[in-house]
Amino acid sequence: MVAISKKKEAPLNEFNQIVAGNSLTKDAWRRLKKNRMAVLGMIIVILYSLLAAFAMFLPIHPYDEIILDHQHLRPTLNKSAGDLMMETKLEDLYFKAWRSGSLVVTEAQSEQIKKWIKDNETNKVWNFCYTEGERQKAAGTFTFSDADTRTIERLQKSIDSDFLISVEKIFWKDMETGKIQNLAKMSYEEILPVYAAITKLDIPTIEAQVLQEKRAQVMNSIKETNPGLSEEEYQSSLDIEMMSIGEKGIAATGKTNLLGKIKTTITRSSERTLKQEIKEGTVSFPIDKKVTISENLSAEIEATKKHSRHYLLGTDYSGRDMLSRIIYGGQVSIMIGLIGTLTSVFIGIIVGALAGYLGGKVDFFLMRLVDIMYGLPYMLLVIIFMAIFGRNIMNLFVALAMVSWLTIARMVRGQIMSLKNSEFVEAARSMGASTGRIIFRHMVPNSLSVIIVYSTLRVPAFIMQESFLSFLGLGVQAPYASWGSLVGDAVNGMTLYPWKLIFPAIAMTIFLFAMNFFGDGLRDAFDPQSKNQL
């Protein structure tokens, strides 16, 4: 006894053993760690979130860059886009050769090809023609016609020489002071004279142009969101809109527009020089260099061979990289899942806490409202809302958050009602704490574990709802992507381009799996009694 009391006072039980206090969270964490699937789920969720959060730092192609030459390239481990383009072209040429009779195959094979065409099995036809043609060409029994050879040569040449230029930084040297400045860091007022010097226009003309462009842009977006108004109504709403944008807004757009125009000029001129250099054979890709356009304008440009890109997971209908679309789509989906859940939890806590604490008439009305809303086919109302009020991410949030706070409100109400008469609330009340303080500083934090557990289970449901809407074409719009819109885009033509369907579906399924296991594990850990309940 004496020896122990010298140390810090530890609570002892009747057998002189130290009784360590265990907090609820600590206990839950211990239980969660035992559940292997839940831990795996947690790790996967964390990985996905990291991937989504740092998507912009990953060495992947831009998710919205359209390269029409790279339409519907299949996934590949080692072939470049150029190889695949050549393959597609050859498939086409061999098929045409078979049609015209110059590629000779046996009677049985011919019948097989016809059957495939009838069954819409185009992929098999392409494959067969390609392997057969390559075999015959190697054996020397088949040669392309002159026209075809020329086509192939032309394609090969463009594969070898096409390049993409991106302007990284633009520098402007002030002739009087000799100071070199990065254009991106200059303000609109500073860029104006630069642009004037480059284009040899006077500043008022440029300013008028910028204003005109901004007006046209705003008008377009007004017309898109509110179709069917009269011309006067459009004009007046344009004026109001322009007023609210103000000079700052115009300057911001003006800067982007002018920078874009200068970039285009630089790209054009360096394209010309590069083409010349390629002809002379003095370049090797990739290029990363500084070019001088005129005596005071210089830029850092990067040029890569256009068709040497690798698309690990293939491309979509406008040549965008599927891998980066899936990653950025995951970013959008996870963001919507998280923010949407937070919003709905926020509304739910407020309604539930008020109903539970105040009781009486407030409780009655709020809960009747919840009951009635439960009876509504609310996804239908969300669909109408999205279809009519325009399809953008903001509306999606609003529509989904408006209808998904019901369960959380009921749950919080139950929690609050059970805590209402506990001693610590009594104590707070006796010390004169206000209703708001009691609810939000004392009761809500005490029911937070239940709320958090429920929220983790809401996230996958939210992602599913968002994807459901995006699938119908009512959610996220191109060039942005979400898992749902990717699957939705892929459904048409999935026999020809199955990778467009399979990869986003797998990415999404793994995440939802992980999220469900993690959520279930959390719930079991915090509330062991509820095991296996829905």
CB atoms within 10 A of CB 350: 16
- Note whether 481 binds other proteins by CB under 8 A: no
Let me know: does 263 contact 293? Beta carbons within 8 Å. Answer: no
Kindly give, in sequence order, each residue whose CB lies less than 8 Å from that of residue 464, ignoring residues fewer than 6 positions away: 512
Residue 148 identity (one-letter amino acid): D
Angle between helices 107-118 and 122-139 (to 10 degrees): 150
C-beta of 11 vs 375, nearer to other proteins: 375
| Shortest CB 347 distance to other proteins, Å | 18
- Note whether 16 binds other proteins by CB under 8 A: no
Phi-psi domain of 403 (left: phi exceeds 0; alpha: psi -120 through 50; beta: other) = alpha
**Rounded to the nearest 5°, which phi and psi values hold at 141?**
-90, -5
Residue 310 identity (one-letter amino acid): H
The distance of Cα 361 from the centroid of its chain, to the nearest Å, equals 45
The DSSP-derived string for 65-91 is: ---GGGTTPPP-SS--HHHHHHHHHHH
C-beta of 184 vs 494, nearer to other proteins: 494
Kindly give, in sequence order, each residue whose CB lies less than 8 Å from that of residue 289, ignoring residues fewer than 6 positions away: 300, 301
Q: Which of 464, 477, 479, 527 binds other proteins (CB under 8 A)?
A: 464
C-beta of 143 vs 236, nearer to other proteins: 236
The footprint of other proteins on this chain (CB under 8 A) covers a number of residues equal to 46
Q: Which of 20, 108, 243, 534 binds other proteins (CB under 8 A)?
A: 534
| Shortest CB 95 distance to other proteins, Å | 21
Full 3-state SS string of 417-465:
HHHCCCHHHHHHHHCCCCHHHHHHHHHHHHCHHHHHHHHHHHHHHHHHH
- Note whether 501 binds other proteins by CB under 8 A: yes
- Note whether 220 binds other proteins by CB under 8 A: no
C-beta of 19 vs 388, nearer to other proteins: 388
Q: Which of 184, 236, 494, 528 binds other proteins (CB under 8 A)?
A: 494
Q: What is d(CA 155, CA 85) in angstroms, rounded to the nearest whole number?
A: 9
Mark residues 110-139: x for contact with other proteins by CB under 8 A, - for none. ---------x--------------------
Mark residues 355-394: x for contact with other proteins by CB under 8 A, - for none. -----------------x--xxx-xxx-xxx-xxx-----
C-beta of 98 vs 385, nearer to other proteins: 385
- Note whether 488 binds other proteins by CB under 8 A: yes
C-beta of 163 vs 385, nearer to other proteins: 385
| Shortest CB 371 distance to other proteins, Å | 9
DSSP at 281: T
Judged by the rule CB under 8 A, the positions of this chain that interact with other proteins are 119, 225-229, 372, 375-377, 379-381, 383-385, 387-389, 460, 464, 467-468, 471-472, 474, 484, 487-488, 490-491, 494-495, 498, 501, 505, 508-509, 512-513, 516-517, 531-534
